[in-house]
Amino acid sequence: MRPIAGAALAAAMLLAAAAPAQTLRIGLREDPDVLDPTLARTYVGRIVFASLCDKLFDIDEQLRIVPQLATGHEWSADSKVLTIRLRPGVRFHDGEAMDAEAVKLSLDRHLTLQGSFRRSEINVVQSVVVVDPLTVRLELAVPFAPLIAQLTDRAGMVMSPKALREAGAQFGSRPVCAGPFRFVERVAQDRIVLERFEGYWDRANVHVERVVFQPIQDTTVLLANLQAGQLDLVERVNPTDGAAIRRDRRLRLVGGDELGYNGITINVGNGERAKTPLGQSAKVREALELSIDREVINQVVYAGEFVASAQWVPPGSPFFLKDLQMPARDIARARRLLAEAGTPNPVVNLMIPNNPDLRQVGEVIQSMARESGFDVRLQATEFASALQAAARGDFEAFLVGWSGRSDPDGNIYSFATCKGGQNDGRYCDAEVDRLLDEARAVPDAAARIAIYRKVAALYLERDRGRIYLWHRKNLFAHAARLQGLRLVPDGLIRPQGIRLQ
């Protein structure tokens, strides 16, 4: 075993030895970014938030929206005013009451704070009005069908006003919310420790005293920790490890289809690094896509367990575009397109998160694209650092995933609109913006699908603003003594109901 693997396993064993009996130990594939619901963007961060910060609404195993900090809601006749009733008796981890003023402060912060990734998710909200201590009213510029769905994630998390005032810009270093566990400590690249909040409104459904999240990028080491009993649960198990897990009577492998995707974000307009053949020519981007065989990636790297795809929602979504064809690999056409673009041998610097399976995906893409004339150079980067580099435009192409949302707006709007909060490549087209705004205002699913098909014709088939590659399955492995894990398609680990026998 490599030295880094041995060190990680030794650290895990020391941590486990010091942990109390009712500590739930969860292995993460990356270290989360900042623990601030307004500024965060990582999937593993969302897993931590599920224990730390309750939301106004949540989703269940059937993707139904259910109340959490809210108890109900009503829309106005014109669908431009949403009234939300709040759960009484809820306290933040600092003892302060969770009320309509706190909801207003959190939503206003999402909408106005510099660098907010939530702004584009709920930017149709014009004002947040406190009706009474347990009622808040959201007044919209236009009807917005996905709003409740957006409030099932970080946009719906409510933060302590006292903590926001006291911590200011440093809130993410010691977050205070109203979830089942409160923040204790964080050691970067090593652990995040939370302890049970005794004042939690649903305290009877929380059965462990502590949750310790441990980031381990090497999936071999992650699995070794689970097999050695140093972890109780790990997320995003490699499909190739499935057989070994199933053979181990001490372990269980569970999972289901995800809501998101993996693909290549291309820098087409974010600073100097967009000024490349790939960034400036749709023909070069099409040539790269035609060089890739998605199903080969799935078979070679993921044992055929994932779903090859060329769009932003998986086949199980009612918004999946059935007539949108996944381009077949075509080396001859790719070479012709590169010749037409005047760049027969373009260099592409592809940033990839530094974990084993995505490094392997990068190597497969590198080998495939070489046949068309591309010189793909891989840049393995720690995940949170890669996200920061992408946001500031310090990349040419970025192999990255999105864990997905129950409403398709959450998978496309922030990534494809000119001012989208997660549009790292700075793709911008006025007609795409108009169509995505129109899709937000239409409640009828069939009408929205027709609009999304028009978006795909521009964003994917004409401009190749992004190259979608596959949809994962959310695969979790856990100790047999762990009971009560709920499998929700967003892939989050909700601690409510989990027990350690």
**What mean pLDDT do residues 167-180 have?**
96
In this structure, are 322 and 418 located in the same domain? yes
Q: Which two tokens stand for residue 229?
A: 């009993």
What is the structure's pLDDT at 18?
46
Closest CA to 401 of 357, 370, 437, 440: 357
pLDDT tens digits, one per residue of 266-288: 999 999 999 999 999 999 999 99
pLDDT, residue 12, reads 47
Whether 42 has a pLDDT exceeding 90, the answer reads yes
274 shares a domain with 386: yes
pLDDT digits (tens, 9 = 90+) for 401-414: 999 999 999 999 99
- What CA–CA distance (Å, rounded) separates 186 from 163? 17
CATH of the domain at 49: 3.40.190.10
Instruction: List the CATH number of the domain containing 411.
Output: 3.10.105.10
Question: Would you say residue 2 has pLDDT above 60?
Answer: no
**Number of domains the chain contains:** 3
Phi-psi region of 121 (alpha: psi -120 to 50; beta: other; left: phi over 0): alpha
State residue 428's pLDDT score. Answer: 98
CA distance 133 to 116: 26
pLDDT of residue 442: 93
CA 64, CA 149: separation in Å to the nearest integer? 9
Are residue 303 and residue 377 in the same domain, yes or no?
Answer: yes
Residues 271 and 335 in one domain: yes
pLDDT recorded at residue 187 = 97
The CATH number given to whatever domain includes residue 105 is 3.90.76.10
pLDDT at 1: 32
Instruction: Put the strands of the sheet holding 135-140 in their side by side order.
Output: 70-75, 81-86, 135-140, 125-132
Q: What is the pLDDT of residue 20?
A: 47
Q: Are residues 315 and 449 in the same domain?
A: yes
Per-residue pLDDT at 17? 46
- Look at residues 115, 130, 161 and tell me which one is the last residue of a structural domain: 161
CB 202 within 8 A of CB 180: yes
Q: Is the pLDDT of residue 138 over 80?
A: yes
User: What would the pLDDT profile of 339-352 be if each residue is shown by its tens digit?
Assistant: 999 999 999 999 99
Domain hosting residue 384, numbered range: 261-471
Task: Return d(Cα 422, Cα 387) in angstroms, integer.
Answer: 10
Pair 270, 373 in one domain: yes
b (16+ CB within 10 A) / e for 464-476? bbbbbbbbbbbbb
In order of 87, 141, 152, 251, the CA distances from 227 in angstroms are: 41, 53, 34, 8
What is the DSSP secondary structure assignment for residue 56, as one 8-state letter? Answer: S
- Is there a domain that residue 172 lies in? no
Judge whether residue 222 has pLDDT over 70: yes
Q: Does 6 have pLDDT greater than 70?
A: no
List CB contacts of 176: < 8 A, sequence separation 6 or more: 92, 93, 94, 159, 160, 162, 163, 167, 182, 183
Residue 15 has pLDDT above 50, yes or no: no
What is the reported pTM?
Answer: 0.90
Is the model's pLDDT at 64 over the cut of 90?
yes
Q: What is the pLDDT of residues 456-490, one digit of tens each?
A: 999 999 999 999 999 999 999 999 999 999 999 99
Q: First and final CA of the chain: distance in angstroms?
A: 32
Residue 168 belongs to some domain of the structure: no
Residue 174 lies in a domain: no
Indicate whether 336 and 444 sit together in one domain.
yes
Classify burial at 59, counting beta carbons within 10 Å of its beta carbon; exposed 0-12, middle 13-18, buried 19 or more. Answer: buried
- Kindly state whether residues 332 and 354 are assigned to the same domain: yes
Looking at the fold, whether 237 and 276 belong to one and the same domain comes out as: no
Statement to judge: residues 137 and 190 lie in one domain? no
Query: Rounded CA gap, 396 and 438, in Å?
Result: 30
Kindly state the average pLDDT of the residues 95-115: 97
Q: What integer pLDDT is reported at residue 5 of this predicted model?
A: 52
The residue type at 360: Q
Q: Are residues 350 and 216 in the same domain?
A: no
Q: Flag whether pLDDT at 16 surpasses 80.
A: no
Element (H, E) at 261: strand 261-266
Do 107 and 197 sit in the same domain of this protein? no
Which band of pLDDT confidence, cut at 50, 70 and 90, is reported for residue 21? low
Residue 446 CB: number of other CB atoms within 10 A?
8
Residue that terminates a domain, selected from 129, 161, 193: 161
pLDDT confidence of 169, banded at 50, 70, 90? Answer: confident
120 DSSP 8-state letter? G
CA 13 and chain centroid, separation: 29
Place of tokens 């810009």: 169
How do 23-28 and 210-215 pair as beta strands?
parallel
